[in-house]
C-alpha cells in the first residue's frame, strides 16, 4: 500500500428548512496537504465509469454494478495517487461530498484497527455516487462497503437529495455511524469526529450493526448518560483546540452571533439552528473565512502569535470549494446545481453550474500541471497569491468583484431557469450552453480582477523612487 494522502477540509451542511429557498446544500473546502494541486470539473458518463475498480493507494479491487448513472465529479488533474473525485451530483439529483478527514483515538483503534488494503478518500465517490437514488441509500451503500472492505483512514462523508441531508463518519477500520441532519438545522464540521449525541433508536440514525454492542461490551463510553460519539470515538487533543474547534466556533458565530462560545471548546454542538435563513453567499463566506473581525485574523493587526494561533477555514491549501444544491422550487431537470470555485477562497467566487449535462466547460475541465492563465484553476490561484501580498490594499477590489460577479451569475441562472420550459426537449444542450456562458463570465471577470490588481499594485512596489527621470 502507498502512503495515504491526508486532506484537511471544512464542511458546511444546510437542511431544506434552514436555507433561504428551501433547497438542501452540502458543501466543503477540498483542502490538501500541498498549496497547489490542479483540479478539474468533469462529467463521468456511464460508459466511462469503471466496472472493475482498483485503488492506486491501497490496491483494493472492487467489482462495481453494471448500471451506473451519470454524475459530475472533481478529480485531480494529476492522477499519481488516483482519481480523488471529491464531490458530485448524479443524474437523479443525489449529491455526495467525500471526504472530511476526521479524528480517532487508540481505544477504538485497538479494537478495530484501520485496514491497509481498504478504501479511502481516493475511492469513495467513485464507489458510491453513480449507484444511489437517495441520500439515505448513499449512507447504506457506503456502510456496506466499509463493513466488507474496511478503510485505512477516518473520514466524514455528506449526502443529500431534495428532501434530506445525511452525514456519515467512519469509526475504526470497519464501523460507521450516520445522522440525518434536521431540516431546520445546519452543521459546520472540521477535521475531527463531529457527531455528538447519538440515538440508536431514532429513525434519523444509521450505523454498523454491532456498533452499540462494541461500545457497551468494551467499556468505551466515558459519559454517565447517553452516547456521545465524539467522546467515545473521537479526540479531544490540544491540536483540536487550535486546528479544529476554532473553525466550528467561527462558523457558528457567523450563523448565531447571539450565542457566545469559546473557540477552543471540545463540545461545540454538532447540530445547530441559525438565527436566519441561510443563502449560498452565507455558505461561501464561511468557507472563505479567516476569522474576520477577530484578533485571530492572519491579515489583522494583532500580535503575530495571536493572529496565527488558530487554523482558518480559508487557507492557501483550498484546492476547490463546492456547494452542492438541490432545489425544490424548479423542475427536476434543473434542480441540481454544482456551485464551484478553485484555489484559495479569499479571491474567488462560486459559479452555479447545472448538473444535468454531459460535459463541462473547458476552462473548468482542462487544468493540467502546467501553469495556464486561460484555465480557472491557475487563474484563481494566481489572483489569491497576489491578493495575499497586500490583503488590505486589494480587499475592496475583491469585494466589488464578488458582488458584481455573483450578481451576473444569478442573472444568468434566473434567465436560464425562466427559459427552461421552452427547452425541455433539448434540456442537456440548453444547460450546457448556460454553463458555457457562466464559465465565460467567470473567466472574464476573474481575468479583469487580476489585471486591476496588477495595475494598481504596481504603483506600490517597494522597488521604486519618487523623483522622475
* Catalytic residue IDs: 9
SS3 readout for the chain = CCCCCCCCCEEEEECCCCECCCCEEEEEEEECCCCCCCECCEEECHHHCCCEEECCCCCCEEECCCCCCCEEECCECCCCCCCCCCEEEECCCCEEEEEEECCCCHHHHHHCCCCCCCECCCCHHHHHHHHCCCHHHHHHHHHHHHHHHCECCCEEEEEECCCCEEEEEEECCCEEEEEEECCCCEEEECCCCCCCECCCCCCCEEECCCHHHHHHHCCCCCCCCCCEHHHHHCCCCHHHHHHHHHHHHHHHHHHCCCCCCCCCCCCCCCCECCCCCECHHHHHHHHHCCCCCCCCCCCCCCCHHHHCCCCCCCCCCEEEEEEEEECCCCCHHHCEEEEEEECCHHHCCCEEEECCCCCCCHHHHCCCCCCCCCCHHHHHHHHHHHHHHCHHHHHHHHHHHHHHHHHHHHHHHHHHHHHHHHHHHHHHHHHHHHHHHHHHHHHHHHHHHHHHHHHHHHCCCCCCCCCCC
Amino acid at each position: 500500500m502507498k502512503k495515504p494522502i491526508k486532506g484537511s477540509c471544512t464542511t458546511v451542511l444546510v437542511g431544506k428548512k434552514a436555507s433561504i429557498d428551501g433547497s438542501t446544500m452540502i458543501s466543503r473546502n477540498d483542502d490538501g496537504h500541498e498549496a497547489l494541486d490542479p483540479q478539474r470539473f468533469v462529467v463521468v458518463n456511464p460508459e466511462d465509469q469503471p466496472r472493475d475498480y482498483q485503488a492506486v493507494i491501497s490496491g483494493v479491487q472492487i467489482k462495481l454494478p453494471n448500471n451506473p448513472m451519470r454524475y459530475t465529479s472533481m478529480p485531480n488533474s494529476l492522477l499519481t495517487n488516483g482519481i480523488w473525485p471529491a464531490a458530485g451530483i448524479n443524474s437523479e439529483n443525489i449529491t455526495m461530498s467525500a471526504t472530511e478527514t476526521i479524528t480517532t483515538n487508540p481505544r477504538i483503534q485497538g479494537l478495530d484497527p484501520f485496514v491497509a488494503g481498504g478504501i479511502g478518500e481516493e475511492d469513495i465517490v467513485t464507489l458510491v455516487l453513480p449507484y444511489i437514488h437517495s441520500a439515505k441509500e448513499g449512507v447504506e451503500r457506503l456502510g456496506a462497503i466499509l463493513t466488507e472492505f474496511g478503510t485505512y483512514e477516518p473520514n466524514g462523508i455528506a449526502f443529500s437529495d431534495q428532501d434530506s441531508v445525511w452525514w456519515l463518519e467512519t469509526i475504526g477500520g470497519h464501523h460507521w455511524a450516520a445522522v440525518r441532519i434536521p431540516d431546520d438545522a445546519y452543521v459546520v464540521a472540521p477535521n475531527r469526529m463531529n457527531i455528538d449525541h447519538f440515538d440508536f433508536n431514532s429513525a434519523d440514525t444509521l450505523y454498523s450493526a454491532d456498533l452499540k454492542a462494541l461500545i457497551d461490551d468494551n467499556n468505551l463510553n466515558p459519559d454517565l448518560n447517553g452516547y456521545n460519539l465524539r467522546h467515545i470515538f473521537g479526540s479531544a487533543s490540544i491540536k483540536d483546540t487550535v486546528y479544529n474547534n476554532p473553525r466550528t466556533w467561527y462558523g457558528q458565530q457567523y450563523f448565531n452571533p447571539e450565542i457566545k462560545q469559546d473557540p477552543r471548546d471540545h463540545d461545540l454542538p454538532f447540530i445547530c439552528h441559525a438565527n436566519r435563513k441561510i443563502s449560498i453567499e452565507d455558505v461561501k463566506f464561511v468557507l472563505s473565512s479567516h476569522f474576520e473581525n477577530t484578533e485571530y485574523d492572519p491579515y489583522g493587526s494583532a500580535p503575530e502569535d495571536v493572529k496565527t494561533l488558530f487554523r482558518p477555514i480559508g487557507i492557501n491549501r483550498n484546492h476547490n470549494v463546492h456547494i452542492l444544491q438541490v432545489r425544490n422550487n424548479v423542475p427536476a431537470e434543473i434542480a441540481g446545481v454544482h456551485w464551484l470555485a478553485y484555489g484559495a477562497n479569499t479571491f474567488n467566487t462560486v459559479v452555479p453550474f447545472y448538473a444535468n449535462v454531459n460535459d463541462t466547460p473547458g476552462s473548468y475541465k482542462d487544468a493540467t500541471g502546467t501553469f495556464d492563465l486561460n484555465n480557472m484553476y491557475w487563474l484563481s490561484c494566481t489572483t489569491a497569491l497576489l491578493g495575499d501580498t497586500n490583503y488590505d490594499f486589494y480587499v475592496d477590489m475583491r469585494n466589488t468583484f464578488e458582488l458584481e460577479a455573483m450578481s451576473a451569475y444569478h442573472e444568468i441562472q434566473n434567465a436560464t431557469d425562466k427559459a427552461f420550459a421552452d427547452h425541455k426537449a433539448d434540456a442537456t444542450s440548453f444547460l450546457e450552453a448556460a454553463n458555457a456562458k457562466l464559465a465565460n463570465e467567470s473567466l472574464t471577470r476573474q481575468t479583469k480582477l487580476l489585471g486591476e490588481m496588477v495595475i494598481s499594485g504596481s504603483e506600490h512596489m517597494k522597488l521604486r523612487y519618487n523623483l522622475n527621470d
